[in-house]
Amino acid sequence: MRFASSSSSANMIVTSTPAPDLAFTNLAYCSHSDLHGFAVPGKKLYLASVGDLFVLSVAGHESIRNGHIALNSIQRRHAKVSAGDTISVSRFIPPDGFDLALLTLELEFVKKGTKNEQIDAVLLSNQLRNRFIDQVMTTGQRVTFEYHGNNYIFTVNQAAVGGQQNSNSLERGMIASDTHFVFETSNASGIKIVNQREAASSNIFRQKEFNLQSLGIGGLSAEFADIFRRAFASRVFPPHVTTKLGIKHVKGMLLYGPPGTGKTLMARQIGTMLNGREPKIVNGPEVLSKFVGETEKNVRDLFADAENDQRTHGDQSELHVIIFDEIDAICKSRGSTRDGTGVHDSIVNQLLTKIDGVESLNNVLLIGMTNRKDLLDEALLRPGRLEVQIEISLPDENGRLQILQIHTNKMKENSFLAPDVNLEELAARTKNYSGAELEGVVKSAVSYALNRQLSLDDLTKPVDEESIKVTMDDFLNALHEIIPAFGASTDDLERCRLNGMVDCGDRNKHIYQRAMLLVEQVKVSKGSPLVTCLLEGPSGSGKSALAATVGIDSDFPYVKIVSAEAMIGLLESTKCAQIVKVFEDAYKSPLSIIILDDIERLLEYVAIGPRFSNIISQTLLVLLKRLPPKGKKLLVIGTTSEVGFLDSVGICDAFSITYHVPILKTDDAKKVLEQLNVFAGEDIDAAAEALNDMPIKKLYMLIEMAAQGELGGSSEAIFSGREKIKISHFYDCLQDIVRY
């Protein structure tokens, strides 16, 4: 028998498969001399179209005579022939793009009444893919196979090539390494399929597993899990599954949070993880144009490829990812801009039309990023638009450790990281740092290490690479150089207690202990998400220092001081906006402390009149009573020297508890002087008596003055313990303070 061309056919005599085990291969067998007539040019494949019903892979067998073709019983039954009959057989040459994207199979036992079996769809998919690779499957075809000691038959219910489905023509295609299987069974079959979801996974991702650290993403595992569940879980399944569920894919996602937390990085890595087309990355301002109508055209052009793809391939089109960085620059709330052109409003309208309009696209994923979610138009944030909104907040301690490991990994691999570097300690000491700031810390530490190898006298001197070591001291120096923008740094808190903390008596100790109990209450209590405490007392009594100490000792991730010195010259409305922003930032952290220092100064209080800012007063009253979002806890500590005024305007009532911070009595002053050790033993009692009813801030000022000596210049010897303050000079300085 000879085939002159791919369209030539011949009648061959049907015979039985030469051996029982060959019946499970789904191959047709012929003589070796006939085999070359089924060869596919350029490939080591032999394919035969049998009776124009199905296509079988052909193998040669020495027991088959020329002009005969061996079919198993299932194949003969489907072709409606018996052994000895003749059937039309022709060589089949597969067209381009013939690989199967999806194969839906209905399973049943060869022998009815076989005991119930549970089949893992993932394992079965792998076995069928390996066993029947490069074989052609046709809708309606039945194939026998053996699996774990049982004999099964699968019926091809759907064979989708390249994701296309056409019910008006014969569906067939070739099993490839990336063909995805979906298994179906009847209730009476006795077969239960498990892990169907894993087996039906699509190939929209380039890898099956994600190691976020290898992608440079640290501390965002929970956020990435939410993104995958909301935006990609439905896309993993074949299109007909989501059609049966009656759902549409998520088309928009918004990543928001403080600057430097990894929003842009995550969006870019999502783009690199996806198969298919490269994502389009555009910065918000790049869309704007000075020409009329050009801006709207730029937006339409971003979606042009997706429109053409959907028009051509329908639900089987590829996923088109569009990444908008700084989306708040172009999608501001409609009506909020006063430029007179209405361009920003038109951009929002254009985006809404493309994503969720009458002819909306279902093959687009728009990823927007912003640190000003409040500026965006509300219509963009509704379901069907940017409906998945993931907050990328500051990393916790474990997240900071992951980020530091990512940025120091190459140093460690190349032996540039000194053994004394403790990343766990660094993660604990960088509470308010964002991912970008942690990267800055690493860069700064490296700069210290490199600088040690350079000589400013001779910059051409060769550098010994092996001697470069980044030490723990380099990282500690970098922490002083890179200051976190979010929350207050330790330096800010330390400035409020320049003289440190000393034992000022039982009353001050009691207030500190009670304040720390409030800190613990905020940490563990489920019924107290907001706790407020007011420290009132005379000016200089140590209220700010006490509040700062509580903030440092609390170990809260977010501690922020709101003081009037940072708002000098600002308008009332601007001050209100800054205060509100501090509270909004605090709501982003699970545990926060806000210190409202010198509230009367924030309110611009003047005793003559009296005069104060009612706008700021009302803002504080609202914020002090507003509960933080679910899962967030806040402690607000206020300080004031004008408690009578605050009481008259109702602010005292807004605080849960008020503590009076007293000035020093004689016994308290003596304790402080003993700790300072600046007086001789016989002079301490006299000095302490003179300091009765003295604020501690003035006490420190008086000691500093007295330590200078009558002619000045002896303070170093005094505070080093080599000399003592003369009591006579101390009295002179005391008279100056009392007099003036």
Residues 6 or more apart in contact with residue 210 via CB below 8 angstroms: 224, 273
Class of domain 10-91: mainly beta
Phi and psi at residue 483, to the nearest 5°: -100, 130
CATH code for residues 490-660: 3.40.50.300
Give the residue among 651, 362, 393, 634 at the shortest CA–CA distance from 521. Answer: 634
Question: 440 to each of 268, 369, 379, 443, 586, how far by Cα in Å?
Answer: 20, 22, 37, 5, 23
Q: Identify the helix (H) or strand (E) that includes residue 321.
A: strand 320-325
> Tell me, what's the pLDDT at 489?
59
pLDDT in the model for residue 85: 92
Per-residue pLDDT at 697: 85
Q: 212-391 in CATH: which number?
A: 3.40.50.300
The CA-atom distances, in angstroms, between 268 and each of 208, 361, 624 are 18, 22, 40
Buried-exposed string 644-676: b where 16+ CB fall within 10 A, e elsewhere: ebbeebebbebbeebbebbbbbeebbbbbbeeb
Q: How many CB atoms lie within 10 A of CB 262?
A: 23
Closest CA to 384 of 349, 363, 357, 359: 357
Instruction: Tell me, rounded to whole angstroms, the distance of Cα 25 from its chain centroid.
Output: 48
In tens, the pLDDT along 589-631 reads 888 899 999 999 999 898 887 789 899 999 999 999 999 888 8
Instruction: Round to whole Å and give the CA distance between 402 and 422.
Output: 13
Q: Do domains 10-91 and 490-660 have the same CATH topology?
A: no
Question: What is d(CA 739, CA 727) in angstroms, rounded to the nearest whole number?
Answer: 18
Top-level class of domain 397-481: mainly alpha
| Closest C-alpha among 535, 524, 516, 512 to residue 642 | 535
pLDDT confidence of residue 26: 92
Which of 585, 564, 588 lies closest to 575, judged by CA?
564
Taking the domains of the chain in order of start, what are their residue ranges? 10-91, 100-194, 212-391, 397-481, 490-660, 666-739
In sequence order, what DSSP letters do the residues of 174-237 get, joined into one string? E--TT-EEEEE--GGG-EEEE-HHHHT--S-BSSSS--TTTTT--S-HHHHHHHIIIIIHHHHS
Instruction: Collect the ranges in the chain with pLDDT lower than 50.
Output: 2-6, 163-168, 201, 739-740
Q: How far is CA 76 from the centre of its chain?
A: 57
How many angstroms separate the CA atoms of 54 and 75, rounded?
Answer: 9
Task: Tell me the three state secondary structure of residue 505.
Answer: coil
Can the peptide bond before residue 610 be classed as cis, meaning omega within 30 degrees of 0? Answer: yes
Alpha-carbon gap, residue 345 to 622, rounded angstroms = 32
Q: What confidence score (pLDDT) does residue 166 get?
A: 42
Element (H, E) at 735: helix 727-739
Provide the pLDDT for residue 29.
Answer: 94
Query: pTM to 2 decimals?
Result: 0.58
Residues 178, 455: Cα–Cα separation, whole Å = 59
CATH of domain 100-194: 3.10.330.10
Q: Which amino acid is at 278?
A: E
* pLDDT value of residue 16: 93
Could you give the CA distance from residue 185 to residue 398 in angstroms, rounded to a whole number?
A: 46
The tens digit of pLDDT for each residue in 479-520 reads: 888 888 776 556 677 777 777 777 888 888 899 999 999 999
Tell which residue, 173, 178, 141, 176, has the closest CA to residue 160.
Answer: 173
